[in-house]
Structures are given as structure tokens and as C-alpha cells.
Amino acid sequence: MNDKNICADPCPIARCLAFLGDTWSLLILRDAHFGLTRFDQFRKSLGIAPTILTRRLATLTEEGMLEKRLYSERPPREEYVLTAAGRDFLPVLVMIGAWGHQYRGEGLLVRIQDVKTGEDIKPVAIDAVTGAKIGTRPLRFVLPDGN
Amino acid sequence: MNDKNICADPCPIARCLAFLGDTWSLLILRDAHFGLTRFDQFRKSLGIAPTILTRRLATLTEEGMLEKRLYSERPPREEYVLTAAGRDFLPVLVMIGAWGHQYRGEGLLVRIQDVKTGEDIKPVAIDAVTGAKIGTRPLRFVLPDGN
DNA sequence: AACATTACTTTCAAAATGATAGTAACACTT
DNA sequence: AAGTGTTACTATCATTTTGAAAGTAATGTT
């Protein structure tokens, strides 16, 4: 093991943390997946200051997670809807939730159910190549220069 | 769809974001999974100010993601190693990485390989109950009060 | 004795946060 | 037509957080 810098540009984790490593942004994305789309819905759900919400929604829009959509011409009103990138972020939120459920699970919790079965989901990350659960087989980070 | 508050205490996502929604903390956890354990390794890898690193390592230790371990008695030297909770956080990092690879993947990237097969992993989140990939079937957030 | 290493702490200016209040554009109600 | 409500913000400003630079403490190495 060394202490080579794997922080900067090349790491895909670092890259998306640039905007993602912010609590509000993640909670906005969570609420968007929950079905919220409007400024005041986010504001009330999160108890966030409007200043911050404006900024976060703008960033998430610039980053391509949300897009603005006009839902009323008169008066002009816009809502924020998830893009494909935003929708594909759901597995991340779900895995965070699974970890939180296991390690921060005291008290009543929000659960995520499969609509058809009506059962709580049990999210697991697997490697599609080997079919093994992530964490059960040794993994290795490989730097772009070959390591 | 409503705008009920799902932010506060009961949501497992919100709960772990309390400390997790911080870029540095996530990068420290990433580096810890990469194999780093020591203050100066993290500092050099991340280019983080020592002030901040001290604070983040303390928080991660308090939160039970890392624990301090004495690796030299004279001089007294401590390193930070992942706890079970910290190790179980790997799937989250891996899913973040997978998303980042897909949507922020320009240029050379750090990859994660399975040590035995030598191949890059293809992380997918599935619901262990139905076996379906997360995102392919409709899901529903259920609030503690029954919704 | 002098220098190096490791794991920090101190100081302080700059940036980010967030509470409160205000605004703009319109619709709706009396 | 005047007043009230709704939605999506912006402005102001005190507090908090961040992070760069330098310093410190305990010890090992030459």
C-alpha cells in the first residue's frame, strides 16, 4: 500500500463528489425520487433556507441531475424533474439508505418498498461479472498509469 | 405525491448524511478502503489541510467508521483503520464510483478490479427480494406513520 | 548535536451557510 | 377594484466553516 494521490481528477468517486458531497444536494435528489418537483415542496420538506435551495437546484441543474420544466405559462412556473443521470443515481441513494438502516437504524424509519410485491426492498450491491456481493471478494483500486 | 417532510430523523438516507454528506469524509473513506491508514498518508493523498483532516478523522472515529489503533509505542503513533461499519460502507462507494464512471467518465479513470479475476468490476444494485436491478421496478418510500 | 519524521495545533483571512425579510408576477375572492 | 394568496425566488447580514501557513511535541536517525 502506498499513499499515492488517488484524489484528484481520475477517481470516479472523487469526480462525482465534487457536487455530490453535499448533504442538501443528496437530500434534494432523495426528495426528487420521492416525487417532489417544486421549489416550495423541497423547501418545506427539507426546511432549507431558500438562498441555499436556489443555489443547490441551480448546481444540480447545471450538473445534469435535474432539469427545469415549465408547467404553467401564465403565471410562468417551473418545476425540477430528474434527468436520466438523476434517475440513475437512485442505486446510490438506495445503498446509502441500506447502510443507514443497518448502522443508524434506531427508531422508526422511512422504508423503500417494491410497489408490486408491497415488500421492503433489500438492496445489495453485486459485481455483475462474478455475481458476488461487493465486499465478499478482495478488490483492488487500479490507477490510470497502470498502478 | 405530497410534500411531507421526509428529511428529518426517520429517513435512513438523511441519517447517514449527517456526517457522510461531506466530500472529505467520503474521500477519506475511499482512501481507507484503498489501504491508507495514517494521518500523513491521507493528508498527502488528498491535499487536505491538516486542520480539516484532524476534524474529519475525529468525526469518522466518533461515528464509528474508523478506529484508532496504536502501531508504535515509542514514539506513540496511531493509525486509523476501518471498523465493520466502515468496511460495510464499501458498496456505497462502489455505487458512487459506478455512477461517476458512467456520467463523469471522460479521461483516464481509477478502476476497481476483482483481485482474483483481474477484471474491472461492474457494480449493480439489486433488490435481494425480487432479484431485480434497482430502478427497473417501481419503488415507493413509506413513511413510519404508514404513509 | 543536528536533522528528520509523524501527528498534530494555532492563527487568521476568506468563503459558505442559513435565518429573516422582501420582491415580482400573477390568480382568486369578495 | 382592492385585497389576499401562491409560487419562486432575491437581498441582507451575522455566524460558522474552511483552509493556507506556520508552529509544536515527542521521538528516531546520522
Indicate the residue of B42, B99, B119 with minimum beta-carbon distance to A129: B119
Chain C nucleotides reached by a protein CB under 7 Å: 5-11, 17-22, 25-27
Sign of the CA dihedral with B103 first, then A82, B13, and B133 last:
negative
Q: Which residues touch strand D (CB under 7 A)?
A: A 38-41, 49-51, 54, 57, 75, 77-79; B 22, 24, 47-52, 55, 74-76
Task: Decide if B71 is inside a domain.
Answer: yes
Task: Decide if B103 is inside a domain.
Answer: no
pLDDT at B9: 60
Chain D nucleotides reached by a protein CB under 7 Å: 6-12, 18-23, 26-28
* Residue B3 predicted with pLDDT over 60: no
Q: Do A46 and B7 touch (CB under 8 A)?
A: yes
The pTM for the full model equals 0.91
Q: How many CB atoms lie within 10 A of CB A102?
A: 12
Q: Do A114 and B139 touch (CB under 8 A)?
A: yes
Task: Decide if A6 is inside a domain.
Answer: no
Name which residue leads in pLDDT, B19 or B142: B142
Name which residue leads in pLDDT, A31 or A75: A31
Task: Decide if A110 is inside a domain.
Answer: no
pLDDT at A72: 86
Indicate the residue of A16, A96, A107 with minimum beta-carbon distance to B16: A96
Q: Do B112 and A140 touch (CB under 8 A)?
A: yes
Q: What is the pLDDT of residues B44-103, one digit of tens each?
A: 999 999 999 999 999 999 999 999 999 887 788 899 999 999 999 999 999 999 999 999
pLDDT at B8: 52
pLDDT at B93: 96
- Domain of A56, in residue numbers: 12-89
Q: Do A94 and B125 touch (CB under 8 A)?
A: yes
pLDDT at A147: 46
pLDDT at B146: 53
Task: Decide if B82 is inside a domain.
Answer: yes
Q: Do A129 and B142 touch (CB under 8 A)?
A: no
pLDDT at A24: 93
How many domains does chain A divide into? 1
CATH of the domain at A33: 1.10.10.10
Query: Do residues A44 and B7 touch, judged by C-beta distance below 8 A?
Result: no
Where would I find the beta strands (DSSP E) of chain A? 66-72, 77-82, 111-114, 123-127, 139-142
Across A109-132, average pLDDT = 96
pLDDT at B4: 40
Instruction: Read off the amino acid at residue B15.
Output: R
DSSP states of A37-53: -SHHHHHHHHT--HHHH
Confidence class of residue A7 from pLDDT cuts 50, 70 and 90? very low
Beta bridge partners of A111: B142
CA distance to partner chain B, nearest, from residue A78 (Å): 16
Interior angle at CA B129, CA B128 and CA B135, nearest 5: 70
Query: Do residues A31 and A41 touch, judged by C-beta distance below 8 A?
Result: yes
Query: Do residues A91 and B125 touch, judged by C-beta distance below 8 A?
Result: yes
Residues from chain A contacting residue B53 (CB–CB below 8 Å): none
Task: Decide if B108 is inside a domain.
Answer: no
Instruction: Read off the amino acid at residue A62.
Output: E
Task: Decide if B127 is inside a domain.
Answer: no
* Residue A12 predicted with pLDDT over 80: yes
Q: What is the pLDDT of residues B88-120, one digit of tens each?
A: 999 999 999 999 999 988 887 899 999 999 999
Task: Decide if B24 is inside a domain.
Answer: yes
Reported ipTM: 0.90
Whole-number Å distance between alpha carbons of A135 and B93: 11
